[in-house]
Amino acid sequence: MSEKLIIGMFGFGVVGQGLYDIIKTKKLNLEIKKFVIKNADKKRSLPAELFSTDPEAILADPQINTVVELIDDADAAFAFTKRALSSGKNVVSANKKMIATHLEELAEIQHEHGTSLLYEGAVCGSIPIIRNLEEYYDNELLHSVSGIFNGSSNYILSKIFNEGQSYDAALKKAQELGFAETDPTLDVGGYDPKYKLAIVASHAYGIYVDPETILNLGIDKLADQDIRFAKEKGYKIKLLPLAKEIANNQVVLYVLPKFVRPDNILYNVENENNGVLVKAAFADEQFFYGKGAGGHPTGSAVLSDITALRYGYRYEYKKHLEAGQLQYSADYELNVYFRYEDDELLQKIQFESITERFYGQDFKYVTGRINLREIIAKRDLINQAGNFIAEVL
């Protein structure tokens, strides 16, 4: 028999409204008692008495046994989540930065207090990748997990390659549709998929990795020359995070733009959709596809976690129990394309080998092999204006 959930919800933005829309169409054993929001003057679609600006309206209410956290502020989200879990309330969150940054501590709090934190909605919208990594792949040896984790950047790249739009025009349209923020850095700079990658790595490989140590370079330096190069070679560009087990029980994690060939299943993942490719020792390759942005897709993932709590579900972090020998590493060689302006800059970056050099009237590039550690060490040089780097798959 399911437990009745009395819910307090932090935030009532796009995802919160989408979640509420879904809940009101269902007959579920739950009740939303209170919403805590930031702006008391904003007009709401629900009765005013349901809203408060005081976090204590949720955190100090003994009747509320479940907290749903859907706010943008990662620091505040962590404070609310930690307090709720420590006081016996279960939590559902979609805040990928908060979870990625504090996951190890949050796992310990859950264990200490017997509470549950679920966060399917924090990674890849409607795709149930966390639950699958926890349950389906719990005894599987995973070679790699990669894919399109950010619907905003994928929408922009789809408009560029499929409709010939400029980067600026595609970004503006993504912002108009609500896929990208006014400041799009989290999406186009690769920060959003980096946080998601750190969470995925925990459930895929049983390692806690500080997201600040993971390389993320995005599509914000993408230029017409790079698009022309990709089209001439028959590629599309996708912003792809990768978690991969390499030699000596090491796991490599990074986020880079990548030139993707037509025979890669991610080549045809377009617009705001996400796609996750899991390569396993026994299950071989499996692909998960779905909406990665929007109130209703993400709201559906949040609701899946809420309903799982009715039956006492919690993540067991099984991979952590068996992952004693796995270590995070950046010692990994990859093939890259690097467009640059300053010849002196190229002398400061150590490539393992260079396979092609091109000097044109409007741009210069090299392709070759480089160690991930070198990219991390020279990140500021590589990512300055006039340069663009992408992995070649």
Q: What is the mean pLDDT of the chain?
A: 93
Per-residue confidence (pLDDT) for residue 23, from 0 to 100: 87
Residue 196 designated active-site: yes
Per-residue pLDDT of 131-140, as tens digits, reads 999 999 988 8
The answer to whether residues 330 and 373 touch, using CB atoms and an 8 Å cutoff, is yes
Q: CA 40 → CA 20, 32, 170, 247, 311, distances in Å?
A: 19, 18, 34, 54, 34
Lookup: tokens for 383? 């990512």
Residue spans in the chain of domains classed CATH 3.40.50.720: 5-130+296-322
Tens digits of per-residue pLDDT, 234-247? 999 999 999 999 99
173-177, 313-317, 388-392: the lowest-pLDDT one: 173-177
- Are 255 and 217 spatial neighbours (Cβ–Cβ below 8 Å)? yes
Q: What is the DSSP letter of 61?
A: -
| Per-residue pLDDT at 28 | 84
Nearest-angstrom CA–CA distance, 375 and 382: 7
pTM value is 0.95
Per-residue model confidence as pLDDT tens digits over 197-239:
999 999 999 999 999 999 999 999 999 999 999 999 999 999 9
What amino acid is encoded at 326 in this protein? Answer: L
- Is the pLDDT at 81 greater than 60? The verdict is yes
Instruction: From the candidates 33, 89, 97, 196, give the one annotated as an active-site residue.
Output: 196
Question: Is the pLDDT at 323 greater than 60, yes or no?
Answer: no
Per-residue pLDDT tens over the stretch 149-180: 999 999 999 999 999 999 999 999 988 887 88
Q: Is the distance from CB of 296 to CB of 20 less than 8 angstroms?
A: no
Look up the CATH number of domain 5-130+296-322: 3.40.50.720
- Provide CATH 3.30.360.10 ranges for the chain: 137-291+325-392
* pLDDT score, position 295: 77
**Structure confidence by residue, pLDDT tens digits, 63-76:** 999 999 999 999 99
CATH fold of the domain at 137-291+325-392: Dihydrodipicolinate Reductase; domain 2 (3.30.360)
